[in-house]
């Protein structure tokens, strides 16, 4: 699944993404820290994994990475 960065606080590393359906899904600092990314910018496209149903509002973002970079690929 893909989404767009909606909010990102570099101080706390928490934020949210907006799905193509318009639903906003938040993420906690551990999700960002596990991504190995250094920063996110508003409007940036990401690949994501979600636990729960995004359309019902019960979704939690569990993983994020840059579109086109696989789970086992390092950004160099």
Q: Classify 35 as helix, strand or coil.
A: coil
pLDDT for res 55: 76
The string of pLDDT tens digits covering residues 18-44 is: 999 999 999 999 999 998 899 999 999
Which comes out higher in pLDDT, residue 73 or 40?
Answer: 40
User: Across residues 36-58, what is the average pLDDT?
Assistant: 88
How far apart, in whole angstroms, are the C-alpha atoms of residue 40 and residue 13? 9
How far apart, in whole angstroms, are the C-alpha atoms of residue 16 and residue 40? 11
| Backbone dihedral region for residue 56 (phi beyond 0: left; psi -120 to 50: alpha; all else: beta) | alpha
* pTM (two decimals): 0.82
pLDDT for res 36: 84
What is the domain class of 2-66 according to CATH? mainly beta
């Amino acid at each position: 699944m893909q989404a767009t960065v909606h909010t990102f606080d570099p101080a706390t590393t928490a934020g949210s993404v907006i799905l193509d359906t318009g639903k906003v899904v938040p993420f906690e600092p551990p999700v960002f820290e596990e991504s190995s990314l250094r920063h996110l910018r508003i409007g940036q496209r990401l690949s994501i994994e979600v636990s729960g149903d995004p359309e019902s509002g019960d979704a939690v973002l569990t993983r994020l990475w840059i579109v086109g970079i696989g789970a086992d690929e390092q950004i160099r």
